[in-house]
Chains A and B, each alone.
Chain A
Amino acid sequence: MTKPSKLIVFSCGGKGGVGKTTVATAIVDYYATRGIAATLFDCDTENKQRGSLSHFFPEAEKLDIRAERGLDHFVDIALATDAPVALADLAAGSGRDTFQWFDTMFDGLATSGVRFTAVATITSSASSVETLFTWANALKNRARYLVVKNQIAGDDFGYFEDTGPGRDFLAKADPKVIELKARAREIQTELDNRGLTAAQAVVADAARRGPLLNGGTARVRAESYARQIDTALDSAREILLP
């Protein structure tokens, strides 16, 4: 009997507002475009309705990992489905719960053929990078890492690339590092408000897009955003594909 192979992709839930959910939705689009089934979990139970993964993908299961055996429940569901990928968008500040669980469960799950990819979205702010280091310090090389440099607040990522822990991380974890190009704020806000990812906005009907996104340049921008992040994610296919 062959071992079930399952890839669990999860966002490193640290600092809020860095674009974790935007990146998570782009990854879901990435799988959908390639016909790869993914079980979705919205573990950001404190996130307001419009900012959460389930706002973009209603099929995503809302799950509170901080509840008793919440993470066990998450993995039980993920393993019970046929989908080769499970994607979880974790809430800001869910580190401690996850680390402790990881220490207890990792060996058993790894033996069962489960692999983990941690997705860390960072900005030019030191605090977002600190979140990544905290997670990496806890998970070590038991997960593969996808680091998304979100240019929302500029393109200086010196706290990631030019610090002692950053260089250590790059050398030891061998992460895939991609960029999420800066997006026009009004368009991203409208996408979030309507529960549309950039890729969904391209194919959505006019009523769902609304007046702003129906504008010619807005549609071109949405298309460009979708293409940019898809290409970037594809460069990390090694750790994103099951």
Chain B
Amino acid sequence: MPGKPFQSKLLPHKEFIRESRAQGMGYREIAAELRRRFGLRTAPANVFSFVKVRARRRPVFSLPPRENAAASPACPAPTTPRSPTRRPTAPTNWLNYDPAKPLEKLPS
């Protein structure tokens, strides 16, 4: 008799994980937040897998670039352009402020 189908314990926190990723949080940080906020112990890799399997745009797996283009002349490179990879939108820097740099006083 098959048991109960597997369901991720992260599922109730899907929205939290979605928003955290949109904010640019790393998987390690999200795992730590899940533990702190909800008492849910999980490894960063689990969060990664959870996001990966649900990602709408999955990365296209490809072979590494040819070492020598002349090695296989019978097979020309495809001419159809590949769709650009979607990158997460960077948060707008409203004040041109970089927290990583010390504040510099300007001449008055």
User: Which residues on A are within 8 Å of B, measured CB to CB?
Assistant: 66-68, 96, 99-100, 103-104, 126, 129-130, 133-134, 136-138, 140, 158-159, 162-169, 172
Contacts and interface: CB of A to CB of B under 8 A. Distances in A.
A136 B105 contact: no
B103 interface: yes
A104 B19 contact: yes
Contact of B105 (A130, A159, A172): A159
B97 A168 contact: yes
Given A137-B95, A163-B103, A163-B105, 4 more contacts: A66-B36, A68-B37, A130-B103, A164-B96
A164 B99 CA distance: 13
A-B residue pairs, 5 tightest by C-beta: A165-B97, A165-B95, A168-B95, A133-B97, A163-B103
A160 to B, nearest CB: 9
Interface string B87-99: 0000111111101
Contacts of A167: 106
B38 A165 contact: no
The secondary structure that dominates the B interface is loop
Nearest to A136: B95
Given A100-B19, A163-B103, A164-B106, A66 B37 contact: yes
Given A68-B38, A163-B105, A168 B23 contact: no
A168 B96 contact: yes
8 contacts: A68-B37, A100-B19, A126-B102, A133-B99, A163-B103, A164-B96, A164-B104, A165-B96
A137 to B, nearest CB: 5
Contacts of B96: 164-165, 168
B79 interface: no
Interface of B: 19-20, 23, 36-38, 91-97, 99, 102-106, 108
A167 to B, nearest CB: 7
Contacts of A96: 23
Contacts of B23: 96, 99-100, 103
B69 to A, nearest CB: 46
Nearest to B37: A68
A213 B38 CA distance: 46
A82 to B, nearest CB: 31
Contacts of A168: 94-97
A104 B103 CA distance: 30
A162 B108 contact: yes
Nearest to A165: B97
Given A68-B37, A100-B20, A169 B105 contact: no
Nearest to B13: A68
A130 B108 CA distance: 20
Nearest to B92: A140
Nearest to A69: B37
B15 to A, nearest CB: 9
A126 B103 contact: yes
Contacts of A130: 99, 103
A172 B95 contact: yes
A133 B37 contact: no
Nearest to A133: B97
Contacts of A138: 91
Residue among A96, A134, A137 with most chain B CB within 10 A: A137
